[in-house]
Amino acid sequence: MKLLTPALAFDLRMNGAAAARGAPGHDPAPLAKLFNPMGAATWLVTELDADGDTLFGLADLGFGCPEMGSFSLSEIEGTRLPFGLCIERDLFFTSTEPLSVWADSARRAGSIMGAAALLADASRAVP
C-alpha cells in the first residue's frame, strides 16, 4: 500500500532538504501520521530524504518511550498485519505544532496518542 501521495512526498522532501541545508530554526510540524490499526504503533512524519525511503519524525512503537529518529518507508509499507491489514495513514491528521512540541508532549505522556490528548487540552484552555 502506498502511504504517501506525490504531493505529500514532495512536501516531506522539501522539509528534508531544509534539514539537510541546516536551515535555522528548522522544526516543522508533522505532515503525516502513520499508524497500526491493530496496535499502538504510531509515526509522525516531518521529512523524507532524497533517497525516497528514509523518513524522519517521531516514532512510538507502543513501549512508552516515543523517540525522534529515522525510519524506512519501504519497511513500514511492507508490514503485513493479521486479517490482511497494513499500516495506514490518518487521512484527517493535521498539526500546527512543531515536531519538538509533539516529542516533548509524547515523552511526558508516554505515547503519541497521549500527546495528542495533552495538546488538544492545551489548545482548548487557551482563549
Give the pLDDT confidence score for residue 110 in this predicted structure: 97
pLDDT the model gives residue 10: 98
The label of the residue with cell 524522519 reads 56
Q: For residue 102, is it within any domain? A: yes
What confidence score (pLDDT) does residue 127 get? 67
- Looking at every residue in the chain, the average pLDDT score rounds to 96
Res 12 pLDDT > 90: yes
Q: What local confidence, expressed as pLDDT, does residue 72 receive?
A: 98
Residue 1: the pLDDT is 66
The total of structural domains in the chain comes to: 1
Which residue shows C-alpha cell 482563549?
127
Phi-psi sector, 52: left (phi>0), alpha (psi -120 to 50), beta:
left
Whether 94 shows a pLDDT value over 80: the answer reads yes
Task: Note down the domain range covering 16.
Answer: 6-125
Which has more confidence, 127 or 33? 33
pLDDT grade for 109, boundaries at 50, 70 and 90: very high
Residue 97 located in a structural domain:
yes
14 inside domain: yes
As a dihedral over the C-alpha atoms of residue 14, residue 55, residue 80, residue 4, rounded to 10 degrees, the angle is: -10
User: CB count, 10 Å around CB of 88?
Assistant: 14
Q: Which pairing describes strands 32-35 and 88-89: parallel, antiparallel, or unpaired?
A: antiparallel
Give a yes or no: residue 1 inside a domain.
no
Whether 18 is in a domain gets the answer yes
42-74 tens-digit pLDDT = 999 999 999 999 999 999 999 999 999 999 999
Q: How many CB atoms lie within 10 A of CB 30?
A: 22
The span from the CA of 33 to the CA of 42, in Å, is 7
In a domain, 117, yes or no: yes
Q: How far apart are CA 15 and CA 21, in angstroms?
A: 10
Residue 124's pLDDT is 83
Q: Is residue 16 part of a domain?
A: yes
